[in-house]
Amino acid sequence: MQYFTREGDSMIFRNNGETIVVTPWGRDSLRVRSAMMGEPRDDRFALLDPAPCPEDVEIAIEERKATLRNGKITARLEIDGWLGGARISFFNRKGELLLRETESGNALKLTPREFQPLTGGDFALNVTFDGQEGEHFYGMGQYQEEQVDWKGCTLEMKHRNSQASVPFVISSRGYGFLWHNPALGYASFGKNRTTWHADATRQMDYWITAGDKPADISFNYASATGFAPMMPEYGLGFWQCKLRYWNQEQVLEVAREYKRRGLPIDVIVIDFFHWPRMGDYRFDPEFFPDPEGMVRELRSMGIELMVSVWPLVAMTSENYEEMKQQGLLMRADYGEQVALRFMEDAMFFDATNPRAREYVWNKCRRNYYDKGVRIFWLDEAEPELGSYDFRHFRYHAGSGQMVGNLYPQCYSRAFYEGMIQAGQENPVNLVRCAWAGSQRYGALVWSGDIMSDWTYFRRQLCAGLSMGAAGIPWWTTDIGGFHAGDPQDPNFRELLIRWFQWGCYCPVMRLHGDRQPAQPVYRKDGARALNSGSDNEVWSFGEEAYPILVKYMRRREELRPYVRSLMKEAHESGAPLLRGMYYEFPDDENCALLRDQYMFGAQLLVAPVMTPGARSRGVYLPRGTWRNADTGELISGGRRIDVSAPLEVIPVFERVSG
């Protein structure tokens, strides 16, 4: 029997209704697809056209075994077990095993690719690989856990406010793996096996690459899914934000005060509910009577304006009936056509629908972009559902169960493509969620509506490192956390200072939060509008905090050439700015699990203080020579040291050699 054939540069397996296609997909990389009772589809949820392979592809076919080599990676398919399935293994250029599907177990009659039929013709899918002793997994996006190594963990593949599932991992064994499937599901990195599960799908589809070091894997992944645009110059400095500047004069007066004090500021932000009704996609003229004049004055001060846009369309919006009639909204499969109740009943626009993307962008172009706004804050991007029951909703691209994780990528795409068409170079927009490929649409992801406490502070560092490993280099947090935080509370002030210091060494430095107590807002007719929070400017946190915050605003300016070089590196190579210690020191096992320090680029080791009351902390310095950024002291690495960290100092070490 002829199990294996070659078609062009692809290797094909057929038996018992299953078709597997293994295709070279860029340098040292392969795409693997499997379909039951049909040919695999070429869905491009995240993958782009493959880059040319620098080496000739080699395929060898035998009766019960076939291999395909593309540069540093080789796939081997072997007939396995009583059922005659194919077991897939991957090897590096040295012939060392990288990853192998689980075996059939003969009498157990297991299958590494388990297609479980669903009513309606699709499948639930489990794909399982052997667990490898000592393996570490990095990436997978943003989860609110104090973890950087996901070995031994199970992660749901579903977006939530402050959770972004980006199903790409870098393995310490020298490979990267993309689960190229936007279905709801989970990934389990167990001791005995790794399992990828999709609740509903048409086929198996994943991409795998081999690399000698993590930077090779990042480059290959970005080549396959897209490189982030170059960060504009205003992305390198300080961004001022709060919930919420509710009128035009308030925005301008805050900007003027920064300039009066001689403080560097690149961006100021207008948050949500600046509109008449949610989904109107325009300024409320009662509170923002002259948007063009506002933008002109800000720009005269060297400040760009960022404006929040929500994908929710309230039933009272001037656009709701037209969007409903034109089929531009998500749809509930049963029951009420309401996705979220916040202030009003509303439904999300269907970002997977090209017509809906065009409609929303055209509204925003006329009402914001043409008035001078060049940065958008794309909130609610998961999308945030009232019960997170994605199975309940249907999109242009398919059921929520099958494609639900694709939404944030399409949301970023709507604005990126619109801004490119309008002639803007390198659009970068703040967005609350992401999926594989979001980076190519200028997604600057922030970590959502997190709590203002030390536990969440520590979690954000882990989240940022995981997002970088998952191929999303533009990432940030709400400095100080979002929920709560009283500027008059000494305990919160300490947290804010420590978070602000760390923000200086994040890709984007942005101060935001819903500070307490809330401040009521009223319309001219006496009607209540959405509250504003308390003050959240750098002079809002007391006399002790102010000079420390100013110190790190000015340090960010001093770092601008270095940050610019890191942005360029990310744009050209896919390398993250926030790097787990393993990324720069993959051969140092002491770095494998470190989660409270990191590399900001290749040169700066940053060790945030993330414990209340701490005035010193331990730091591991890898081999080489390091310079303390505050004292200038030269220190030999290869050891753990205790370093002083008074309230005005975040420990940072410059890599001199090694």
Least confident of 168-182, 211-225, 334-348: 334-348
Contact 506, 430 (CB under 8 A): no
pLDDT of 120 > 80? The answer is no
Mean pLDDT of 515-533: 96
Q: What is the three-class DSSP state of 122? A: coil
Active-site position among 122, 379, 494, 584: 379
Confidence (pLDDT) at 107:
82
Question: How far is residue 601 CA from its own chain's centroid?
Answer: 18
User: In whole angstroms, how far apart are CA 568 and each of 230, 472, 484?
Assistant: 6, 14, 36
Contact 544, 644 (CB under 8 A): no
Confidence (pLDDT) at 214:
98
Distance, in Å, from the CA atom of 359 to the CA atom of 319, rounded to the nearest integer, reads 10
Distance, in Å, from the CA atom of 173 to the CA atom of 216, rounded to the nearest integer, reads 13
Task: Give the bridge partners for 511, in sequence order.
Answer: 240, 479
pLDDT of 206 > 80? The answer is yes
User: In whole angstroms, how far apart are CA 496 and each of 32, 492, 629?
Assistant: 47, 6, 21
Contact 6, 61 (CB under 8 A): yes
Confidence (pLDDT) at 110:
85
Angle at 553 between CA 496 and CA 260, to 5 degrees: 105
> pLDDT per residue over 19-40, tens digit each?
999 999 999 999 999 999 999 9
**Cα dihedral across residues 491, 507, 597, 635: positive or negative:** negative
Write the DSSP string, 230-271.
PPPGGGSSEEE--TT--SHHHHHHHHHHHHHTT----EEEE-
Distance, in Å, from the CA atom of 551 to the CA atom of 570, rounded to the nearest integer, reads 27
pLDDT of 628 > 80? The answer is yes
Query: Backbone dihedral region of 109: left (phi > 0), alpha (psi from -120 to 50 degrees) or beta?
Result: left
Task: Give the bridge partners for 312, in sequence order.
Answer: 348
Distance, in Å, from the CA atom of 132 to the CA atom of 190, rounded to the nearest integer, reads 9
Distance, in Å, from the CA atom of 127 to the CA atom of 114, rounded to the nearest integer, reads 6
Angle at 23 between CA 18 and CA 26, to 5 degrees: 155
Confidence (pLDDT) at 184:
97
pLDDT of 239 > 90? The answer is yes
pLDDT of 82 > 90? The answer is no
pLDDT of 55 > 90? The answer is no
Nearest Cα neighbor of 84 from 142, 1, 152 is 1
> pLDDT per residue over 291-311, tens digit each?
999 999 999 999 999 999 999
Residues 6+ apart with CB under 8 A from 126: 113, 114, 116, 195, 196, 197
Distance, in Å, from the CA atom of 169 to the CA atom of 178, rounded to the nearest integer, reads 7
Nearest Cα neighbor of 366 from 418, 326, 331 is 418
Distance, in Å, from the CA atom of 174 to the CA atom of 276, rounded to the nearest integer, reads 53
Mean pLDDT of 325-352: 95
Least confident of 385-399, 429-443, 543-557, 641-655: 385-399
Question: How far is residue 612 CA from its own chain's centroid?
Answer: 28
Band the pLDDT of 84: cuts 50, 70, 90.
Answer: confident
Of the two residues 540 and 658, the one the predictor is more confident about is 540
pLDDT of 81 > 90? The answer is no
Cβ burial, residue 539 (10 Å; 0-12/13-18/19+)? middle
Is 345 annotated as catalytic? Answer: no
Least confident of 55-64, 355-364, 369-378: 55-64
CA dihedral defined by 453, 456, 462, 465, rounded to 10 degrees? -80
Furthest-apart CA atoms within the chain: distance in Å: 82
pLDDT of 648 > 90? The answer is yes
* CATH class of the domain at 580-657: mainly beta
Q: What is the three-class DSSP state of 560? A: helix
Is 382 annotated as catalytic? Answer: yes
Residues 6+ apart with CB under 8 A from 355: 326, 327, 328
Active-site position among 9, 145, 449, 569: 449
pLDDT of 602 > 80? The answer is yes
Question: Tokens representing 372?
Answer: 């001078």
Active-site position among 216, 382, 514, 596: 382
Domain boundaries, the chain: 4-225, 235-575, 580-657
Residues 6+ apart with CB under 8 A from 216: 28
Least confident of 104-113, 455-464, 545-554, 557-566: 104-113
pLDDT of 487 > 80? The answer is yes
Band the pLDDT of 119: cuts 50, 70, 90.
Answer: confident
Of the two residues 106 and 398, the one the predictor is more confident about is 398
pLDDT of 121 > 80? The answer is no
CATH fold match for the domains 235-575 and 580-657: no
Distance, in Å, from the CA atom of 221 to the CA atom of 555, rounded to the nearest integer, reads 33
Mean predicted lDDT score pLDDT of the chain = 97
Helix (H) or strand (E) holding 215: helix 214-225
Angle at 263 between CA 260 and CA 266, to 5 degrees: 110
Q: In which residue are the tokens 């107590």 written?
A: 517
> pLDDT per residue over 385-433, tens digit each?
998 888 899 999 999 999 999 999 999 999 999 999 999 999 999 999 9
- 9 phi/psi in degrees, rounded to 5: -95, 10
> pLDDT per residue over 253-295, tens digit each?
999 999 999 999 999 999 999 999 999 999 999 999 999 999 9
What is the CATH code of the structural domain delimited by 235-575?
3.20.20.80
Is 42 annotated as catalytic? Answer: no
Architecture, CATH, for domain 4-225: Sandwich (2.60)
